[in-house]
């Protein structure tokens, strides 16, 4: 009780003397200001970070689209190049063998000439011999013309039978000859600039 009374007396004395009460410290405005700026800067950084991340995502999408379109363009260009090459090869082949049908017909004429000049003219009269000599000259001229256009004979007597260039019509058995060797050409075959336009009809050895 005495303590309380002393405190009351001291308070009364202070009031009588007019001693001002200690003011409550005001909040530091500078500190509040700094806090607000920090918060603002933090929000600004977060906003920029989100914006930057979004831009990076959009850039990545655009790069992927660009890459995809570039691949499609390259593929289209490759297909166009292949298409042009095929067309050029087809055109070149057509031009190269454009006269194949005509040459096939001329070959048949050559066959008839060959049959005629195979006749033995020893027993023929002079008039027929001269006629046959004319045939031989025409046959030689025809063959020269065919050669100029890239025609070559298929004549592989004594070589192994080649099914890509020959057709076996007959077989024979010769002991001192190997199997599948061409013995005789029954009908000549022909190639036009490397392409077989008629296989040779041959006789093949078979033991």
pLDDT (tens digit, 9 = 90+) per residue, 139-185? 999 999 999 999 999 999 999 999 999 999 999 998 888 999 999 99
Round to whole Å and give the CA distance between 13 and 175.
Answer: 156
For 82, the enclosing helix (H) or strand (E) is helix 29-96
Tokens of 159: 């070589």
Tokens of 165: 């260039």
Indicate if the alpha-carbon torsion angle 153, 157, 162, 167 is positive or negative.
Answer: positive
- Does the structure show a pLDDT above 70 at 54? yes
Quick one: pLDDT at residue 34?
A: 52
Quick one: pLDDT at residue 144?
A: 95
Give 114-139 pLDDT, tens digit per residue.
888 877 655 566 777 777 888 889 99
Quick one: pLDDT at residue 187?
A: 93
Quick one: pLDDT at residue 123?
A: 59
Round to whole Å and give the CA distance between 183 and 186.
Answer: 10
Check if CATH label 2.30.22.10 holds for domain 153-207: yes
Round to whole Å and give the CA distance between 207 and 205.
Answer: 7
Quick one: pLDDT at residue 45?
A: 75
Round to whole Å and give the CA distance between 19 and 63.
Answer: 78
Q: 26 in helix, strand or coil?
A: coil
Locate the domains of the chain by residue range: 45-96, 98-149, 153-207
């Amino acid at each position: 009780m005495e303590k309380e009374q002393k405190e009351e007396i001291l308070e009364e004395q202070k009031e009588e003397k007019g001693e001002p009460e200690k003011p409550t410290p005001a909040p530091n405005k500078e500190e509040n200001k700094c806090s607000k700026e920090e918060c603002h800067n933090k929000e600004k950084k977060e906003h920029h970070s989100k914006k930057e991340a979004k831009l990076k995502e959009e850039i990545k999408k655009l790069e992927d689209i660009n890459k995809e379109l570039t691949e499609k363009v390259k593929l289209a260009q490759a297909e166009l190049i292949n298409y042009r090459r095929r067309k050029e090869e087809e055109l070149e082949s057509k031009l190269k063998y454009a006269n194949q049908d005509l040459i096939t017909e001329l070959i048949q004429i050559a066959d008839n000439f060959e049959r005629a000049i195979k006749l033995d003219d020893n027993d023929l009269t002079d008039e027929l011999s001269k006629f046959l000599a004319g045939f031989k000259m025409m046959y030689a001229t025809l063959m020269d013309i065919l050669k100029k256009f890239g025609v070559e004979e298929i004549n592989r007597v004594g070589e192994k039978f080649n099914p890509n260039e020959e057709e076996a019509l007959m077989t024979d058995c010769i002991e001192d000859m190997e199997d599948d060797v061409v013995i005789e050409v029954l009908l000549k075959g022909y190639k036009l600039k490397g392409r077989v336009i008629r296989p040779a009809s041959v006789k093949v050895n078979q033991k």
